Amino acid sequence: MKQENALQLLQTVQLENAYVKVVEQLNKDMYMAALDIEFPTDLSPASLVKNLEVQLEILLLKQYDDYLNLMYRVDVQEADLLKLKGLFADALITEIAFLILKREWQKVYFRSKF
Protein backbone atom coordinates (compact mmCIF):
# COMPACT_ATOMS: atom_id res chain seq x y z
CA MET A 1 0.00 0.00 0.00
CA LYS A 2 1.39 3.34 -1.00
CA GLN A 3 0.43 6.96 -0.54
CA GLU A 4 -1.87 6.62 -3.53
CA ASN A 5 -3.95 4.26 -1.42
CA ALA A 6 -4.31 6.92 1.28
CA LEU A 7 -5.35 9.40 -1.40
CA GLN A 8 -7.78 6.90 -2.93
CA LEU A 9 -9.24 6.29 0.51
CA LEU A 10 -9.74 10.02 1.04
CA GLN A 11 -11.35 10.34 -2.39
CA THR A 12 -13.83 7.65 -1.35
CA VAL A 13 -14.42 9.51 1.88
CA GLN A 14 -15.09 12.69 -0.10
CA LEU A 15 -17.62 10.86 -2.28
CA GLU A 16 -19.40 9.83 0.92
CA ASN A 17 -19.38 13.50 2.01
CA ALA A 18 -17.48 12.51 5.15
CA TYR A 19 -14.08 14.10 4.57
CA VAL A 20 -14.57 16.86 7.13
CA LYS A 21 -15.78 14.30 9.69
CA VAL A 22 -12.69 12.15 9.11
CA VAL A 23 -10.40 15.15 9.60
CA GLU A 24 -12.36 16.12 12.73
CA GLN A 25 -12.03 12.55 14.06
CA LEU A 26 -8.29 12.63 13.37
CA ASN A 27 -8.01 15.95 15.20
CA LYS A 28 -10.03 14.56 18.11
CA ASP A 29 -7.73 11.55 18.41
CA MET A 30 -4.65 13.78 18.22
CA TYR A 31 -6.09 15.87 21.04
CA MET A 32 -7.03 12.80 23.10
CA ALA A 33 -3.47 11.49 22.64
CA ALA A 34 -2.27 14.80 24.15
CA LEU A 35 -0.62 15.91 20.91
CA ASP A 36 -0.61 19.52 19.84
CA ILE A 37 -1.39 18.63 16.22
CA GLU A 38 -4.46 19.84 14.35
CA PHE A 39 -5.26 19.63 10.67
CA PRO A 40 -7.54 22.22 9.01
CA THR A 41 -10.73 20.67 7.68
CA ASP A 42 -10.31 22.55 4.38
CA LEU A 43 -6.93 20.93 3.68
CA SER A 44 -6.83 19.00 0.41
CA PRO A 45 -6.54 15.21 0.71
CA ALA A 46 -3.00 15.27 -0.71
CA SER A 47 -1.96 17.96 1.78
CA LEU A 48 -3.57 16.07 4.64
CA VAL A 49 -1.65 12.90 3.77
CA LYS A 50 1.63 14.81 3.42
CA ASN A 51 1.15 16.74 6.67
CA LEU A 52 0.19 13.59 8.53
CA GLU A 53 3.30 11.85 7.23
CA VAL A 54 5.49 14.76 8.39
CA GLN A 55 3.95 14.62 11.86
CA LEU A 56 4.37 10.84 12.01
CA GLU A 57 8.03 11.13 11.08
CA ILE A 58 8.59 13.60 13.92
CA LEU A 59 6.74 11.35 16.36
CA LEU A 60 8.61 8.22 15.28
CA LEU A 61 12.04 9.83 15.42
CA LYS A 62 11.73 12.21 18.36
CA GLN A 63 8.63 11.37 20.41
CA TYR A 64 8.21 7.61 20.21
CA ASP A 65 6.09 7.37 23.38
CA ASP A 66 3.69 9.93 21.90
CA TYR A 67 3.59 7.90 18.67
CA LEU A 68 2.64 4.77 20.62
CA ASN A 69 -0.02 6.70 22.50
CA LEU A 70 -1.48 7.91 19.19
CA MET A 71 -1.57 4.38 17.76
CA TYR A 72 -3.41 3.22 20.89
CA ARG A 73 -5.84 6.15 20.75
CA VAL A 74 -6.60 5.73 17.04
CA ASP A 75 -6.87 1.98 17.61
CA VAL A 76 -4.66 0.87 14.75
CA GLN A 77 -4.47 -2.91 14.94
CA GLU A 78 -1.14 -4.26 16.16
CA ALA A 79 -1.32 -7.05 13.57
CA ASP A 80 -1.48 -4.44 10.80
CA LEU A 81 1.56 -2.65 12.22
CA LEU A 82 3.50 -5.91 12.51
CA LYS A 83 2.98 -6.51 8.78
CA LEU A 84 5.04 -3.35 8.16
CA LYS A 85 8.12 -4.75 9.86
CA GLY A 86 11.21 -4.37 7.72
CA LEU A 87 10.03 -1.41 5.66
CA PHE A 88 12.34 1.55 5.28
CA ALA A 89 11.38 4.82 6.98
CA ASP A 90 9.58 6.53 4.07
CA ALA A 91 7.52 3.47 3.17
CA LEU A 92 6.81 2.78 6.83
CA ILE A 93 5.51 6.30 7.46
CA THR A 94 3.36 6.16 4.31
CA GLU A 95 1.83 2.87 5.42
CA ILE A 96 1.18 4.08 8.96
CA ALA A 97 -0.53 7.21 7.63
CA PHE A 98 -2.78 5.00 5.49
CA LEU A 99 -3.63 2.77 8.48
CA ILE A 100 -4.51 5.79 10.61
CA LEU A 101 -6.73 7.33 7.93
CA LYS A 102 -8.39 3.99 7.25
CA ARG A 103 -9.18 3.54 10.94
CA GLU A 104 -10.51 7.10 11.26
CA TRP A 105 -12.77 6.48 8.23
CA GLN A 106 -14.04 3.27 9.83
CA LYS A 107 -14.95 5.16 13.02
CA VAL A 108 -16.84 7.83 11.08
CA TYR A 109 -18.53 5.29 8.81
CA PHE A 110 -19.73 3.04 11.65
CA ARG A 111 -20.97 6.03 13.64
CA SER A 112 -23.01 7.21 10.68
CA LYS A 113 -24.54 3.76 10.07
CA PHE A 114 -25.28 2.61 13.61
**Any residues with CB less than 8 A from the CB of 32 and at least 6 apart, and which?**
73
DSSP 8-state symbol, 32? H
pLDDT at site 1? 40
In whole angstroms, how far apart are CA 68 and each of 22, 35, 56, 79?
A: 21, 12, 11, 14
Q: What is the model's pLDDT at position 41?
A: 96
**Residue 33 phi/psi, 5° resolution?**
-90, 10
Quick one: average pLDDT of 20-32?
97
pLDDT digits (tens, 9 = 90+) for 33-80: 999 999 999 999 999 999 999 999 999 999 999 999 999 999 999 999
